[in-house]
Amino acid sequence: MNLSVTPASRLEGEVKAPASKSYTIRAVAAAMLAEGTSIINDPLFSEDTKACMLASQSLGAIIKRRENRLEINGVVGLPKKPTGIIDTLNSGTTIRLMTAIASLCQCKVTLTGDESIRKRPIEPLLDALKQVGVKAQSTKGCPPVTVEGPLLGGPCTIRGDISSQFISALLMALPLAVKDSTINITGDLKSRPYVDMTVDLLSQFKVIIRPQNHVQFIIPGDQMYKAAEYTVEGDYSSAAFILAAAALTESRVTVRNLFSGSRQADKKILAILQEMGADVSIGENEVTVTGTGRLHGIKADLGNSPDLLPITAVLGSLAEGRTLIHNTAHARLKECDRIKAMAAELKKMGADIKENPDGLDITGGRLKGTLLDSWRDHRIVMALAIAGLRAEGKTEIKDKEYVGVTFPGFVKAMTSIGAKME
């Protein structure tokens, strides 16, 4: 089904940001490993978090949904043998985390996902797991993957410039190894805040991680996750689309449930909007953007925030002057090659945009509505929908159902503040 968008000159109102996908998935995985029953308040219910819950249940967790919370009875550090292949659907985070966690089993476990997941690299994680005692194999370096414990622990080395999710996966599994472990990072650690997020979340479940300047992580072995009550904060990654829409129009929009002290990498959207000329007011638990519809181009280093590339590309295509998005080659390894996708789709709308190896070079101007491809990527769909608010004429985006991966209420949220989407 297509998403239809017509131009809007003004947006007004308040929206509650959906819960963080990244924190929800990590919290569910941690609760699955814990001793006792954990309570997860205000989790995100989406296709990606559903994938994590199903995988956790496959490994022995008992999960009950109680209105807007989850009760999760954990496996006390010993995942059970699943009855079949674990399908992580479209969730890259889930397959990376669960691959490491499944290596705690004393049996072979196979994990797979949809067509997109089966194209995403996972070999660096498997190589690291082999160094700590696990038997692991994949299909040409991508899922499906098969792992077989025991996870013994000890030293391992892994590249940091492909996906921070590999490091997060090791951080979640290695505390349950018998030996103390050390993760040594080679190259630049991309998306570093996501690793910080993992360390922060693990501390809520009484797991000790000792970071050494993000080049090494020391992990005491033979630990036990303790059940916790945890409340999931709002998602800056999803809120970025709403905040950008306000900045691109003559609008005043408040997004609630965004914590000022958040560790989320995509909180960077606030600095991007401010630098481009939007009025951004930051409260303790909310953000208000007052837009005039006039922005100017910037140089944006998205090395730690590759998920912001699609919406930053839209902002740049409608801003005055040049916007250079760089240091984000790893955005090519997401649900799709997001650099290629945004260049292709914005060109269809008339944008002056050039694809670089590590980003995009954009000269802002006007956009025209047309029929656009989704690339089966939720962030591509939402970014192009925001572009459609400022395009001349009607914009149609294929496969609107992909927004359900992280933000099922996206269209409802946007129409509630005056956007014309259906």
Here the tokens at position 25 are 């998935």
Q: What is the pLDDT of residue 267?
A: 97
Q: Identify the structural domains of the chain with CATH numbers, from first to last.
A: 3-18+234-421 (3.65.10.10), 21-218 (3.65.10.10)
Considering the chain, what is the average pLDDT of its residues? 97
Question: How many angstroms separate the CA atoms of 120 and 335, rounded?
Answer: 8
Question: How many angstroms separate the CA atoms of 252 and 290, rounded?
Answer: 4
Q: What is the pLDDT of residue 72?
A: 98
pTM listed for this prediction: 0.94
- Range 62-85 average pLDDT: 96
**Three-state secondary structure call for residue 272:** helix
Here the tokens at position 152 are 């013994």
Q: What is the pLDDT of residue 106?
A: 87
Q: Which residues pair with 66 in a beta bridge?
A: 69
Percentage of the chain exceeding pLDDT 70: 100
- Range 38-63 average pLDDT: 98
Q: What is the pLDDT of residue 139?
A: 87
pLDDT band, very low/low/confident/very high, at 172 (cuts 50, 70, 90): very high
Question: Residue written as tokens 């993000």?
Answer: 214
Closest Cα to residue 99, out of 138, 153, 41?
138
DSSP 353-394: EEEETTEEEEE----B--EE--TT-HHHHHHHHHHHHHSBS-
Question: Residue written as tokens 């996906």?
Answer: 163
In this predicted structure, the answer to whether residue 228 has a pLDDT above a threshold of 90 is yes
- Range 194-206 average pLDDT: 97
pLDDT band, very low/low/confident/very high, at 26 (cuts 50, 70, 90): very high
Question: How many angstroms separate the CA atoms of 36 and 351, rounded?
Answer: 54
Please answer whether residues 133 and 153 qualify as being in contact, where contact means their C-beta atoms are separated by less than 8 angstroms.
Answer: yes
Here the tokens at position 168 are 């997060």
Question: How many angstroms separate the CA atoms of 129 and 160, rounded?
Answer: 15
Closest Cα to residue 22, out of 122, 112, 124, 92?
92
In this predicted structure, the answer to whether residue 122 has a pLDDT above a threshold of 90 is yes
DSSP 212-261: ETTTEEEE-SS---B--EEEPPB-HHHHHHHHHHHHHTT-EEEEES--TT
- Range 336-346 average pLDDT: 98
Instruction: Return the active site residues.
Output: 307
Which DSSP category does 10 fall into? -
- Range 83-98 average pLDDT: 97
Q: What is the pLDDT of residue 333?
A: 93
Burial code (b: 16+ CB inside 10 Å, e: under 16) for 227-248 equals bbebebbbbbbbbbbbbbbbbb
Q: What is the pLDDT of residue 408?
A: 95
In this predicted structure, the answer to whether residue 93 has a pLDDT above a threshold of 90 is yes
249-289 residue pLDDT tens: 999 999 999 999 999 999 999 999 999 999 999 999 999 99
Burial code (b: 16+ CB inside 10 Å, e: under 16) for 48-72 equals bbbbbbbbbbbbbbebeeeeebbeb
**Three-state secondary structure call for residue 38:** strand
Question: How many angstroms separate the CA atoms of 56 and 70, rounded?
Answer: 13
Please answer whether residues 338 and 411 qualify as being in contact, where contact means their C-beta atoms are separated by less than 8 angstroms.
Answer: no
